[in-house]
């Protein structure tokens, strides 16, 4: 069966416009968010984004693995140079449990080995459906750091140990009106971006009682705020990806 599939490295802006096949399994629920993320990917391919797609016989992407070298990775850690930092890995549900995820990852690891990377770093979660850290333990990764629902793991290739440091969240909580909302637009995940897009619409209902500021994710904003992306309402991160219009409205009302 694996002969029907091929792992292909992303090499052009046109290919970057097809990223996030995780969103194309069903009718795309957040088309505007996906569009924004694909534009960002095409603009940053080869800079803050590298990747591989698992393609079927028709050339359609059914799996994805996105990463960046640590020197250019937009992650909430300081990491020494020469480490491959994984952002996202996914196989469409229809193709899971068939060894295709292993095929995609193995191709990636082999090339990182060949290119002389010290090792591979990934931030896993405790959610079964989203890069659960146990999947990486089974591949020979080991835990370096744990915080809240995130686990940082490392797989040595040419160097057994690396230096890293978690960034400190520098966004200060506050109270009062107008409610201040900071949106850090990461564009590395349409799921997270969907809530940011919807929030802009809902916030308009509150007039001058709510002030919204947007910041695009860059190396400079990462150093300034110490976080990659998210919605911060009066300095507190209260909304995650896939939030409904009702949930967003209720969160703002609670601050008011």
- Quote the DSSP letter at residue 171: P
173 φψ region: left (φ > 0), alpha (ψ -120 to 50), beta (else) = beta
Q: Is residue 46 in a domain? A: yes
Report the pLDDT value the prediction gives residue 242, as an integer from 0 to 100.
Answer: 86
**Pair (157, 54) in one structural domain:** yes
In 132-198 the beta strands, taken as DSSP E runs, fall at 142-147, 150-156, 164-166, 179-185
Question: Does some domain include residue 173?
Answer: no
Predicted confidence (pLDDT) at residue 129 exceeds the cutoff of 90:
no
Q: What is the pTM of this model?
A: 0.92
List, for residues 74-99, the tens digit of each pLDDT value. Answer: 999 999 999 999 999 999 998 999 99
Instruction: Tell me: do 141 and 213 sit in the same domain.
Output: no
Do residue 52 and residue 156 come from a single domain?
Answer: yes
148: domain CATH number?
3.40.630.30
1 pLDDT higher than 70: no
| Calpha distance 109→5 (Å, rounded) | 18
In whole numbers, what is the pLDDT of the chain averaged over residues? 92
Residue numbers of the domain that contains 231: 179-255
Res 104 pLDDT > 60: yes
Q: What is the pLDDT of residues 157-191, one digit of tens each?
A: 999 999 999 999 999 998 889 999 999 988 889 98
Classify residue 34: in a domain, yes or no: yes
Is the per-residue pLDDT at 193 higher than 70?
A: yes
Whether 162 and 227 share a structural domain: no
């Amino acid at each position: 069966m694996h002969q029907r599939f091929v792992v292909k490295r992303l090499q052009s802006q046109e290919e970057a416009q097809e990223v996030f096949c995780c969103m194309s399994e069903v009718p795309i629920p957040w088309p505007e968010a996906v569009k924004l993320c694909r534009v960002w990917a095409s603009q940053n391919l080869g800079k803050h984004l590298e990747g591989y797609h698992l393609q079927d016989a028709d050339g359609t992407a059914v799996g994805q693995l996105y990463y960046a070298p640590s020197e250019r990775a937009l992650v909430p850690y300081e990491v020494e140079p020469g480490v491959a930092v994984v952002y996202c890995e996914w196989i469409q549900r229809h193709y899971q449990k068939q060894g295709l995820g292993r095929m995609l990852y193995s191709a990636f690891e082999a090339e990182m080995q060949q290119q002389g990377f010290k090792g591979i770093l990934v931030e896993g979660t405790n959610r079964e459906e989203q890069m659960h850290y146990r999947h990486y333990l089974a591949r020979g990764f080991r835990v370096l750091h744990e915080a809240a629902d995130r686990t940082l793991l490392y797989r040595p290739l040419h160097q057994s140990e690396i230096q890293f440091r978690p960034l400190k969240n520098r966004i200060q909580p506050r109270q009062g009106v107008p409610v201040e909302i900071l949106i850090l637009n990461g564009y590395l995940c349409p799921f997270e971006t969907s809530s940011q897009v919807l929030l802009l619409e809902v916030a308009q209902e509150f007039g001058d009682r709510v002030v919204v500021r947007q910041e695009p994710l860059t190396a400079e904003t990462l150093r300034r705020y110490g976080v990659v992306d998210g919605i911060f309402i009066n300095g507190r991160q209260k909304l995650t990806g896939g939030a409904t219009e009702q949930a967003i409205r209720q969160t703002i009302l609670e601050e008011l």
